[in-house]
Structure 1
Amino acid sequence: MRTVGLIVEYNPFHNGHLYHLQQSRKITEADTVVAVMSGHFLQRGEPALLDKWARTRMALEGGCDLVIELPVAYATQPAEWFAYGAVSLLEATGVVDSFCFGTENGDLAPLLLAAEIIAKEPPAFKTLLMQLLQTGISYPNAYSRAISTYLLNLGFDDAASFPFALPNHTLALHYLLALKRLEGKMEPFTITREKAQYSQETVTDQQIASATAIRKLLLEQHSLEAVRSFVPASTFRILQQEWLAGHCPISWEPFTSALLHAIVTRSPAQLAGMHEITEGLEHRIKKTLPKLASTQFNDLLEALKTKRYTRTKLQRALLAILLGHHKADFTSEKLATGVEYIRVLGFTEKGKQILRRMRSTAKLPVLLSAARAPDSYRYLELDTQASSLYSLAVPGLESARMLFRDFTDKPITIE
């Protein structure tokens, strides 16, 4: 039985995701699909539109067989550590033969070449990167330019012209770098992203729209009908159930009061100890707060933005403050050790077969419930804290029990 791995957020699962899943099965000739999915907070420093259990149901009904959770410690990171956490988990299952990701042009060769050359970050490459960062450009732009310049200096002219800075290419490169550094056995594949690009806010097709555009429609038009044509019927049904229960859509706004409390009750020195707070950002945050016209999250974000501090960088930094993520838990040395467990969020009948195989192949303990995990699993502790905080922001919360679903709920199962 061949198994393909996918790295996803499914925020929410839409027709483009369905196409990617189906094509991934086809080109890898896979019988089953394992998805490693971010939990309640995502890679660009945002809360998920729906909770991780609803999105797990979307994934399973959309064609995934087993969904495992990417811990918040990796799910909210820049591309390098996001990719490292996700690839390491797929490798740790011991059952995933290949993994497939989307790219803007479907060309894997330049990405493989770049990953092979810079996996150990040669000194000349690091020097280029530092020089570019000193010009004040963002880290992702500096990294992509350093790659192109380094490849050009080595005589790889064609590869040097490859658009490494495009969002999916950046992630793809880091997936391949992670695979190389982990000495992984999975075979990488890519497919071209069709009709809607990553984070594209406008709708240009009748059936395919980015998750960003779909979230924007839901949040601005307050109508499920606005997104019906862009999602599978199963996703629409789950969205409808969560919507009617008052559990979605979730945005940054319900967290703003908690965020402001976390900021005003910390000194600049304490803020400086939080993950993603760099280069004096703590002082900018403190100085900006009294000048705000309102306490809306977007007003805070707009007031903080500069050429150096991009929207995504700021969202990650503010999220670290909200979640209480300290630098000490997020050093490169700690992140490089990887996750200590495989947390199962849901599975189908085929997924049960995968889990049975994993009893003998998995390189890490497989968790079906956080309640049975050792207290020493620090990343799991951060996950359960993040889940509880997320639940506090969900309108229509039925009971305090919802705060502790990580400990009480069984994995989602689809017969």
Structure 2
Amino acid sequence: MKTVGIVVEYNPFHNGHLYHAQKARESAQAEVVIAVMSGHFLQRGEPALVNKWARTRMALQNGVDIVIELPYVFSVQKAEYFAKGAISILNELFCDSFCFGSESGQLAPFLETLHQMEGSSALLDPLIRQYMGEGVSFPRAQTLARESLFGQQLPLDLSKPNNILGFHYIQANQQLAHPMEPLTIKRQQADFHEVTLGSHPIASATGIRKAIAEQKGQLQTIKPYVPAATFAELQHYLQTYGHFHDWGMYWPFLQYRLLASSAEELAAIYDVSEGMEYRLKEAARQSTGFTEFMQMVKTKRYTWTRIQRALVHILLHVSKEEMAAATESVRYTRLLGMNKQGRDYLNQIKKNMEVPLITKTAAFKESLAFDIKAAEIYALGLPSYSSHSLLQSEFNEHPVILT
């Protein structure tokens, strides 16, 4: 069977994601679409709106054949590591190709930019450190360093989030012993972080989440922008758990962790560096809520996303040492769901896989330690009557099978 991989978060699955899955299958002429999907905490350092099982059902009901979890140690990461984990998993599953969205829908600028930048890290890294020393954020320092080294001549605009991820997908793929075929499609309508809902049926996930928050969980506003299966899953989740997840739900736990930890303990946490620990502790003392806290911490040097990722690692108490060991390579693939076509494909390849394909949590508790901890903390955000149910689902839930 010919297969194409996609890297997703589905927070939540919307009409743009449906378009991506359909075009990926069409472009690759694939029989099987495999989605590697972030678990309960996401790349920008946020809790997912709904849990991974609900998002898996959304995907399977909208044309995806297999959903595999992107482990926590790769999902809550800057683009380089996020891409490394996702592309490695697709490769472990013997995907023939992978497909991502980009601003232009053209592959050539990615390949040309990668070629121009090959071997330049020895020159770029000192420039990045120099600009960061002047107080700018890491992403801005990267942009300035590239402009300083290459001028404005790079074929790819690396200020765009989709292009940044796509570039790192291509880069990670090139490092494989047997690279997959890269494919890209043009992003449709809404910008990556567009916060408003327009007249077109494709809106950004950011805009959809903002509309849900503004309507205090009411969903009618977003109905034109999501497939019917997504709308039904969101309604069911709200009825089951009473809440969608956001950072505000975790503020008491985060504030406790920040105040109870010494500056030295915080400095040992992954993604906490350059004295951030002192700023975090001071803001935790003065803030009455998460948004106020973030506004106090954010500076030109620390982007909102960078801070949020550090906060997730603080919440889960993940150290620099632990993360360094865990991100060396992908050590397992965890199945979240499949349809019949997906099951047939996995039966065909699983004996030849080099890492275990996990379908039962109990047998792999040690391997899944970070993901289990993430699921437990994620559940704590809910009221106690709902939290217990979600907490147990990490151990009781079997992969979703769409018949």
Please give the alpha-carbon distance, in whole angstroms, between the structure 1 residues aligned to 2:365 and 2:51: 24
Shift of 1:134: 2.8
The equivalent of 2:54 in structure 1 is 54
Cα pair 1:201 1:216 within 8 Å, conserved: yes
Once the two structures are superposed, the pairs formed by residues 8-407 of structure 1 within 5 Å of their partners are 8-94=8-94, 96-152=95-151, 158=153, 160=154, 162-222=156-216, 223-292=218-287, 294=288, 296-331=289-324, 334-335=326-327, 337-373=328-364, 375=366, 377=367, 380-395=368-383, 397-398=385-386, 400=388, 402-407=390-395
Q: Could you say what secondary structure the match of 1:17 adopts?
A: helix
The equivalent of 1:3 in structure 2 is 3
Deviates more, 1:19-28 or 1:3-12: 19-28
Q: Could you say what secondary structure the match of 1:245 adopts?
A: helix
Shift of 1:291: 2.8
Cα pair 1:371 1:406 within 8 Å, conserved: no
Offset from partner CA, 1:242-277 (integer Å, 9 cap, x none):
112235411111111111111111011111111111
Cα pair 1:197 1:210 within 8 Å, conserved: yes
Aligned residues: 402
Cα pair 1:8 1:35 within 8 Å, conserved: yes
Please give the alpha-carbon distance, in whole angstroms, between the structure 1 residues aligned to 2:155 and 2:114: 15
Please give the alpha-carbon distance, in whole angstroms, between the structure 2 residues aligned to 1:190 and 1:11: 21
Shift of 1:361: 3.3
Please give the alpha-carbon distance, in whole angstroms, between the structure 2 residues aligned to 1:26 and 1:15: 16
CA RMSD of aligned residues (A): 1.8
TM-score (norm 1): 0.92
Please give the alpha-carbon distance, in whole angstroms, between the structure 2 residues aligned to 1:183 and 1:139: 30
Amino acid at match of 2:158: F
Cα pair 2:5 2:97 within 8 Å, conserved: yes
TM-score (norm 2): 0.95
Q: Could you say what secondary structure the match of 1:163 adopts?
A: coil
Q: Could you say what secondary structure the match of 1:354 adopts?
A: helix
Offset from partner CA, 1:275-319 (integer Å, 9 cap, x none):
111110111112223333x2x111100111111111111111111
Amino acid at match of 1:313: R
The equivalent of 1:410 in structure 2 is 398
Offset from partner CA, 1:194-234 (integer Å, 9 cap, x none):
11011111122331110000001111112110110000011
Amino acid at match of 2:313: A
Cα pair 1:246 1:396 within 8 Å, conserved: no
Q: Percent identity?
A: 39
Amino acid at match of 1:204: G
Please give the alpha-carbon distance, in whole angstroms, between the structure 2 residues aligned to 1:144 and 1:358: 41
Shift of 1:404: 3.3
Please give the alpha-carbon distance, in whole angstroms, between the structure 1 residues aligned to 2:304 and 2:130: 23
Cα pair 1:60 1:414 within 8 Å, conserved: yes
Cα pair 1:342 1:364 within 8 Å, conserved: yes
Amino acid at match of 2:336: L
Cα pair 1:247 1:396 within 8 Å, conserved: no
